[in-house]
Amino acid sequence: MIRPSIRLACARLCRVATVAVSSLAALSLPISPAVAQEQVPPAPTLEPSAPVPAAPVFPKPEPANFTAPLPTKETVNAFLEASWGYDETRVWQVQAIMKTPVEGISKVVVFLGDKTGKQKPQALQFFALPDGKHIIAGDEILYFGEHPFAESREKLAKLADGPYRGSASKDLEMVEFADFQCPHCKEAQANMEKLAVDFPKARIVFQNSPIPAIHPQAVNAAAYGVCVAKQGGSTAFFQYASAVFDGQDGLNSADGATLTLNSAVTKAGLEPAKVAACAATPETRATVDASAKLSADLGVASVPTLMINGRQVPANAPYDTLKKIVEYQVKLDGVGN
């Protein structure tokens, strides 16, 4: 669910950003050529009569297109390896690193394809900022460098304080940002259950990221969840969360929300009256707000989002792809799974 405060008025462009920009940032899904070409200039293509090759053939880079001293081609390749390396069929070539009229900002052009030849080569571009740690891709400011997820990982290790299941260790930490009234978040729960089984050594954290502008009961559901975790611990919270998602349609009205949340609290083994009283306190609302702020500070533009040791991916991505990304991040970070 895309946050309305960011892109509600441009739903079609949201889809472009999700597919094309996330191929630089989260990189959880294969690029759709038809969409990506709306976002960036297309790479040179073969003549219509030519056979499709088994692998893309990129034009030879021109030395004249490497006019900026930074970032280096090695840094760009390391960034792309960290971002795209989970996909063994993906290949790329750094085509240009050029100066721009703004001192210290470089334009980077990358040609992208896949070894099967099923997708036409694409040209992706982004702007590297002077700090060496960020890029602008589309309308997003993203982390950059040889270890692009390290800063987010560190921030999550300090500030992701929601209920969790699995390991107490943060060597492999998966943080789910979700909204109880978001249908896509409900769909993502099947993935979260599978991840818990396939990665028993992971710490899987739930962080509230409600969108009250389109989900008026989401903040209240989040507040109830905070109090369930406070009064019953993480086990009770995940029982509550499962019940709320199962009964999500009940959140469509204020009266229905009260019944749904109270029922979920009961299923978690707690007393609805005590949880409701706790949920109404300023302290609890401040906790929900802090979690939402963490989401915003990390650049989470839509829910459900899963951050895997700082790497941002859609939590409702196809599970096989999601699992592959987790396994690759484990390898990158040198941790057990």
Q: pLDDT tens for residues 126-165?
A: 999 999 999 999 988 999 999 999 999 999 999 999 999 9
Beta partners for residue 322, in sequence order: none
pLDDT band at 247 (very low <50, low <70, confident <90, very high): very high
Q: What pLDDT, on the 0 to 100 scale, is given for residue 183?
A: 97
pLDDT tens for each residue of 183-227: 999 999 999 999 999 999 999 999 999 999 999 999 999 999 999
pLDDT value, residue 56: 84
132 Rama class: left (phi>0) / alpha (psi -120 to 50) / beta: left
The confidence score (pLDDT) of residue 54 equals 67
Written as one letter, the residue type at 329 is: Q
Question: Which secondary structure element, helix H or strand E, spans residue 95, and what is its range?
Answer: strand 90-99
At 290 the pLDDT is 98
* Per-residue pLDDT at 5: 44
pLDDT score recorded for residue 325: 98
Q: For residue range 221-245, list pLDDT tens digits in order.
A: 999 999 999 999 999 999 999 999 9
Confidence band (pLDDT; 50, 70, 90) for 119? confident
| Residue range 162-181: mean pLDDT, rounded | 97
Round the average pLDDT of the chain to a whole number and report it.
87
Of 23, 205, 29, 172, the residue nearest 111 (C-alpha)? 23
Q: Is the pLDDT of residue 284 over 50?
A: yes
Give the separation between CA 110 and CA 107, rounded to whole angstroms. Answer: 10
Work out the burial of residue 144: count CB atoms within 10 Å of its CB; fewer than 13 is exposed, 13-18 middle, 19 or more buried: buried
pLDDT tens figures, 31-54: 333 333 333 334 444 455 555 556
Whether residue 307 has pLDDT greater than 90 = yes
61 — pLDDT class (breaks 50, 70, 90):
very high
Per-residue pLDDT, 52: 54
- Which pTM value belongs to this model? 0.84
Long-range contacts of 194-200, Cβ-Cβ distance < 8 Å, separation of 24 or more: 194/319, 194/323, 195/322, 195/323, 195/326, 196/165, 196/166, 198/323, 198/326, 199/166, 199/172, 199/174, 199/326, 199/337, 200/166, 200/167
Is residue 268's pLDDT more than 90? yes
Question: Is the predicted pLDDT of residue 11 greater than 90, yes or no?
Answer: no
The three-class DSSP label of residue 208 is: strand
Which domains, from first to last, does the chain contain?
Answer: 4-148 (no CATH), 151-333 (3.40.30.10)
Cis peptide before 304 (omega within 30 of 0): yes
Q: Per-residue pLDDT for 10 more than 60?
A: no
The conformation of residue 19, written as its DSSP 8-state character, comes to: I
CA-based radius of gyration for the chain: 22
